[in-house]
């Protein structure tokens, strides 16, 4: 019998919620057509439900956004409406400040029951926080002390490794045109893309998966989320769908022929479409090591 690899890394006690963006925050919808099965504040209510404290403390990280002030106000109202009253803001514009203020924000993270990353530019999050005491302490709280971490849009895309940071629908069909880097690494061998159905991002996710088929692609529709427990146990909530792309059975591709504007070709992708209440276990095919 073939021996299964042993996972010796600690199982996280915390929970991650990754959101596809444009979650209902209680505002008037900015789209002409509202989803027929939409329940107001559904995603934010689910986030609140995951916090066990009766009087939770939430830290909202708006660093990724260029409109952080206005965005913070929107989230304060939305989270207030679902019962979270103690809300603070974390925002940095440059890396040196993020490093210098590390000890101050570590104290706040120690008191927080949850941390929420807003949308914007995911590269700002990895650039400003990568290698900092703030990020290290955030991971320790997530792994060992049950911290809930949420992220929407760019905030969700930054959670795993790898992380997409460039490549839109105009270039996604060309081999090698999608740019990826190391994310914040709360999840391993997982790539998350947001606004997935609404902005037609299937092909760009497929490009990421074919570069290393160990990775699992999770594409999340707007006003939809996946809650991940124990580091690998996913459950879908919200009004849309989550699309899972796996490349373990890829037979062939022209991904290595990049640079000549050749259209991407991939054979053997596996795809699942999940909706509210569906579950998914992230495969552990790449044993951890020190």
- Looking at the chain, the whole-number percentage of residues with pLDDT higher than 90 is 83
Q: What is the DSSP letter of 82?
A: T
pLDDT of residue 169: 85
Q: What is the model's pTM? A: 0.92
Q: What is the pLDDT of residue 27?
A: 72
Confirm or reject CATH 3.40.50.880 for domain 15-25+40-281, answering yes or no.
yes
Residue-level pLDDT at 33: 43
pLDDT the model gives residue 288: 74
Query: What pLDDT, in 10s, does the model give residues 93-119?
Result: 999 999 999 999 999 999 999 999 999
Distance CA 115, CA 155 (A): 11
Mean pLDDT of 178-204: 96
Q: What is the pLDDT of residue 7?
A: 52
With bands split at pLDDT 50, 70 and 90, how would you rate the model's confidence at 28?
Answer: low
Calculate Rg over the CA atoms of the chain: 19
Tens of pLDDT, residue by residue over 198-246, are 999 999 999 999 999 999 999 999 999 999 999 999 999 999 999 999 9
pLDDT at 58: 98
Mean pLDDT over residues 252-278, rounded?
94
d(CA 97, CA 244): 38
Taking the chain, what is the end-to-end CA distance rounded to the nearest angstrom? 27
Listed residue (141, 163, 151) closest to 117, CA to CA: 151
Residue 152's pLDDT is 98
Q: Say what the pLDDT of residue 286 is.
A: 86
Q: 3-class DSSP state for residue 113?
A: coil
Half-sphere exposure of 15 (CA within 13 A, CB side): 17
Nearest residue to 46 (alpha-carbon basis) of 18, 88, 72, 27: 18
pLDDT band at 32 (very low <50, low <70, confident <90, very high): very low
| pLDDT tens digit sequence for 120-169 | 999 999 999 999 999 999 999 999 999 999 999 999 999 999 999 999 88
pLDDT over 70, % of the chain = 93
Average pLDDT score over the chain: 92
pLDDT digits (tens, 9 = 90+) for 44-67: 999 999 999 999 999 999 999 999
């Amino acid at each position: 019998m073939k021996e299964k690899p042993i996972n010796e890394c600690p199982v996280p006690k915390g929970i991650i919620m990754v959101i596809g963006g444009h979650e209902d925050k209680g505002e008037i919808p900015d789209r002409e057509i509202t989803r027929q099965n939409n329940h107001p504040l559904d995603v934010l209510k689910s986030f609140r439900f995951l916090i066990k404290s009766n009087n939770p403390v939430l830290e909202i990280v708006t660093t990724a956004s260029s409109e952080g002030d206005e965005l913070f106000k929107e989230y304060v109202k939305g989270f207030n409406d679902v019962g979270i009253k103690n809300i603070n803001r974390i925002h940095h514009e440059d890396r040196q400040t993020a490093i210098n203020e590390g000890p101050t924000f570590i104290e706040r993270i120690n008191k927080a029951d949850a941390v929420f990353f807003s949308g914007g530019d995911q590269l700002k999050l990895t650039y400003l926080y990568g290698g900092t005491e703030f990020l290290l302490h955030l991971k320790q709280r997530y792994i060992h002390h049950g911290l809930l971490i949420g992220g929407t849009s760019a905030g969700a895309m930054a959670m795993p490794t790898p992380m997409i940071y460039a490549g839109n629908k105009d270039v996604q069909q060309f081999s090698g045109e999608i740019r990826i880097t190391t994310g914040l690494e709360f999840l391993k061998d997982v790539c998350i893309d947001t606004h997935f159905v609404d902005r037609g991002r299937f092909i760009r996710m497929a490009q990421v998966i074919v570069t290393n088929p160990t990775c699992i692609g999770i594409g999340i529709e707007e006003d939809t989320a996946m809650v991940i427990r124990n580091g690998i146990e996913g459950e879908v909530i919200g009004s849309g769908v989550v699309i899972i792309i796996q490349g373990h059975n890829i037979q062939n591709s022209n991904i290595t022929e990049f640079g000549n504007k050749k259209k991407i070709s991939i054979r053997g992708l596996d795809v699942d479409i999940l909706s509210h209440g569906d579950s998914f276990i992230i495969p552990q095919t790449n044993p951890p090591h020190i």
